[in-house]
């Protein structure tokens, strides 16, 4: 499921944009525009924009069980998403790069990290210009996006590699690099770099900047210390895969922790692994940094219907062949709940997905799952029975896809080839 992150924090930082989503505003052409990124450099090709595939929920049905991973068939070029959300999500990303760059792009600096960032940037550019040659063109070091009018310099003196990735792709990317080996020789992976523009209650690095209230008000000081520690706990840069999920994602510890590093090590560079998560939310923001969370009221079925969303991440994993880094991509969608329930096919799929939610995931959602079940008119007790009955049911996948690994302990299933 999508992250928790439902605490009171900073007020809204932008007006309501398309479909009611909030945007971060900025003035194009200001000094804060990232180096190597030119805004409005070429006219937008309106014909190409109008031809983008829709952000229709049916295309991503059914919402799958959360923790299964799948691999696209060999030769399938599927990786990044370029659809009707692309232009306005890039607009939001450019605003964040201009106003909060140090919040959303960060690294633990080393030569290996820099090489992995460059390798990812080059792979993103190659994929975009190959798979969408009319929308993305390259002349020398300059990549032009005709969907947004943006030109990015990807040369040695151009944009930082992860800034370039963030300005050209609507996916967030996290780079996991191989680190130490345990006593059994199992290599672990650590998050060493990222362009995380659309987080949901977490961050790369703590940006907690509230001034210390001092010792005069003990209660206020205690709250300040709790908030500062929470900010640090939600910062993920430098952590291993196990440390990232420790205490936050119970289904990860129960069903994934022992196999993820092993799967990363065994991944082949010619495969793209994917999964999706989803969860009900009230926030209209894509940008929900742990230190800039918006005020979210208590979720009720009425509020979820009137102002709620299903927030879903289409997640991908690719292994970069030269550095052996794992590039974890997250493409975020916000689907208005009212629209989902108005579509019979989508509603039916949502009901099935809600019934199949695992107990650990229901606990992780802290009551939001019960609110969703109430909105759908489904009794919670039936959900518990359905969840138990379908724990080992595989995610529906595109034709030719393989289940990358079976992650539920004790199901008696075997791994598919990587």
pLDDT digits (tens, 9 = 90+) for 167-191: 999 999 999 999 877 777 778 899 9
Tokens 């109430």 belong to residue: 374
List phi, psi (to 5°) of 61: -80, 155
Least confident of 59-68, 348-357, 401-410: 401-410
State the average pLDDT for the chain. Answer: 81
Q: Which of 388, 371, 258 is nearest to 304 (CA)?
A: 371
Residue pair 101/289 in contact by the 8 Å Cβ criterion:
no
Cα torsion angle, 403, 242, 93, 113, sign: negative
Q: Give the pLDDT score at 177.
A: 95
List phi, psi (to 5°) of 3: -65, 170
* Average pLDDT of span 99-117: 97
Three-state DSSP state, 38: strand
How many Cα neighbours within 13 Å face the side chain of 1? Answer: 27
Q: At what angle do helices 344-355 and 380-389 cross, to 10 degrees?
A: 70
Percent of the chain with pLDDT over 90: 57
Residue pair 239/191 in contact by the 8 Å Cβ criterion:
yes
Query: What global pTM score does this model have?
Result: 0.84
For residue 284, pLDDT over 90 is answered with yes
Length of the chain: 418
For residue 61, pLDDT over 70 is answered with no
């Amino acid at each position: 499921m999508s992250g928790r992150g439902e605490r009171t924090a900073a007020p809204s930082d932008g007006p309501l944009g398309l479909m009611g989503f909030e945007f971060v505003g900025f003035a194009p052409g200001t000094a804060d525009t990232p180096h190597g990124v030119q805004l409005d450099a070429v006219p937008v090709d309106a014909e190409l924009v109008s031809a983008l595939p829709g952000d229709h929920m049916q295309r991503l049905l059914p919402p799958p069980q959360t923790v299964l991973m799948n691999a696209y068939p060999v030769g399938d070029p599927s990786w990044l998403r370029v659809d009707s959300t692309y232009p306005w999500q890039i607009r939001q990303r450019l605003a964040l790069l201009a106003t909060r760059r140090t919040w959303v792009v960060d690294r633990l600096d080393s030569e290996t990290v820099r090489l992995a960032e460059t390798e990812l940037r080059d792979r993103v550019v190659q994929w975009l210009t190959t798979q969408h040659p009319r929308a993305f063109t390259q002349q020398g070091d300059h990549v032009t996006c005709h969907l947004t009018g943006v030109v990015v310099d990807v040369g040695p003196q151009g944009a930082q590699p992860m800034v370039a990735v963030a300005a050209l792709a609507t996916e967030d990317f996290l780079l996991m690099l191989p680190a130490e080996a345990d006593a059994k020789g199992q290599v672990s992976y650590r998050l060493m770099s990222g362009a995380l523009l659309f987080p949901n209650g977490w961050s790369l690095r703590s940006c907690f900047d509230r001034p210390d209230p001092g010792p005069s008000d003990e209660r206020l000081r205690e709250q300040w210390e709790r908030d500062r520690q929470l900010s640090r706990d939600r910062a993920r840069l430098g952590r291993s895969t196990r440390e990232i999920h420790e205490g936050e994602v119970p289904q990860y510890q129960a069903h994934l922790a022992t196999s993820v590093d092993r799967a990363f090590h065994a991944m082949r560079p010619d495969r793209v692994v994917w999964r999706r998560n989803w969860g009900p939310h009230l926030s209209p923001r894509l940008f929900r940094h742990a230190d800039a969370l918006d005020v979210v009221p208590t979720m009720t079925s009425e509020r979820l219907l009137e102002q709620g969303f299903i927030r879903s991440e289409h997640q991908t994993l690719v292994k970069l062949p030269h550095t052996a880094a794992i590039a974890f991509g997250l493409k975020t969608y916000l689907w208005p709940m009212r629209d989902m329930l108005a579509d019979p096919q989508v509603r039916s799929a949502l009901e099935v997905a809600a019934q199949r939610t695992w107990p650990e995931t229901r606990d992780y959602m802290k009551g939001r799952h019960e609110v969703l079940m109430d909105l759908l008119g489904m009794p919670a007790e039936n959900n518990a029975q359905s969840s138990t009955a379908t724990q080992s049911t595989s995610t529906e996948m595109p034709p030719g896809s393989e289940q990358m690994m079976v992650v539920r302990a004790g199901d008696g299933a075997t791994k598919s080839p990587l």
